[in-house]
Amino acid sequence: MEPRAFYVAGRPAHGEGELTVTHPYDGQAVGRTTFATDDQVEAAVADAARVAAVAAALPAHVRTAALDHVSRRLAERTDEVASLITAENGKPMKWARAEVGRAVSVFRWAAEEARRFSGELQRLDTDPAATGRIALVRRVPRGPVLGITPFNFPLNLVAHKVAPALAVGAPIVVKPAPATPLSALLLGEILAGTDLPEGMFSVLPLPNERAAELVADPRLPVVSFTGSGPVGAAIRRAAPDKHVTLELGGNAAAVICADWSSDDDLTFAAQRIATFSNYQAGQSCIAVQRVYVHERLYAGFLPRLVAAVEGLRTGDPRAETTDVGPLVSVAAARRVETWVDEAVAAGATVETGGRRDGATYPPTVLSGVPADAKVCAEEVFGPVLVVAPVADDRAAFSAVNDSAYGLQAGVFTHRLDVAFTAARTLEVGGVIVGDVPSYRADQMPYGGVKGSGVGREGLHSAMADYTEQRVTVLTGVAL
User: DSSP letters of 106-129?
Assistant: HHHHHHHHHHT---EEEE-TTSGG
Band of pLDDT at residue 250, cut at 50, 70 and 90? very high
**184 in a domain, yes or no?**
yes
**291 in a domain, yes or no?**
yes
pLDDT at position 452:
97
pLDDT at position 185:
98
pLDDT over threshold 90, residue 211: yes
pLDDT at position 206:
98
Band of pLDDT at residue 248, cut at 50, 70 and 90? very high
Rounded to an integer, what distance in angstroms lies between the CA atom of residue 80 and that of residue 96? 10
Q: What is the mean pLDDT of residues 134-142?
A: 97
**284 in a domain, yes or no?**
yes
Residue 349 belongs to a domain with what CATH number?
3.40.309.10
Same domain, 461 and 367: no
- Quickly count: other Cβ atoms within 10 Å of residue 16's Cβ: 10
pLDDT at position 237:
94
pTM for this prediction: 0.96
End-to-end CA distance of the chain: 67
Same domain, 421 and 462: no
Q: What is the mean pLDDT of residues 384-403?
A: 98
> What does the pLDDT look like over 274-326, one tens digit per residue?
999 999 999 999 999 999 999 999 999 999 999 999 999 999 999 999 999 99
**462 in a domain, yes or no?**
yes
**430 in a domain, yes or no?**
yes
Q: Sign of torsion, CA 189 97 157 210?
A: negative
**478 in a domain, yes or no?**
no
Rounded to an integer, what distance in angstroms lies between the CA atom of residue 278 and that of residue 284? 9
Same domain, 138 and 264: no
CB 134 within 8 A of CB 121: yes
pLDDT > 90: percent of the chain: 99
* Residues sharing a CB contact under 8 Å with residue 406, sequence separation 6 or more, in sequence order: 250, 426, 427, 428, 429, 448, 449, 450, 451, 452
Band of pLDDT at residue 122, cut at 50, 70 and 90? very high
Same domain, 244 and 301: no
Residue 192 belongs to a domain with what CATH number?
3.40.605.10
pLDDT > 70: percent of the chain: 100
Same domain, 274 and 413: yes
What is the total count of domains within the chain? 2
- Domain span at residue 327 reads 253-441
Same domain, 244 and 257: no
Residue 226 class from Cβ within 10 Å (0-12 exposed, 13-18 middle, 19+ buried)? buried
Same domain, 218 and 336: no
Q: What is the mean pLDDT of residues 92-120?
A: 97
**182 in a domain, yes or no?**
yes
Any idea how long the chain is? 479
Q: What is the mean pLDDT of residues 77-91?
A: 97
Secondary element (H or E) of residue 253? strand 253-256
* Residues sharing a CB contact under 8 Å with residue 341, sequence separation 6 or more, in sequence order: none
Same domain, 173 and 291: no
Mean confidence (pLDDT) of the chain: 97
CB 402 within 8 A of CB 409: no
**477 in a domain, yes or no?**
no
Same domain, 32 and 146: yes
Same domain, 403 and 460: no
Same domain, 278 and 400: yes
Same domain, 324 and 427: yes
> What does the pLDDT look like over 372-387, one tens digit per residue?
999 999 999 999 999 9
pLDDT at position 1:
81
Residues designated catalytic: 247, 285
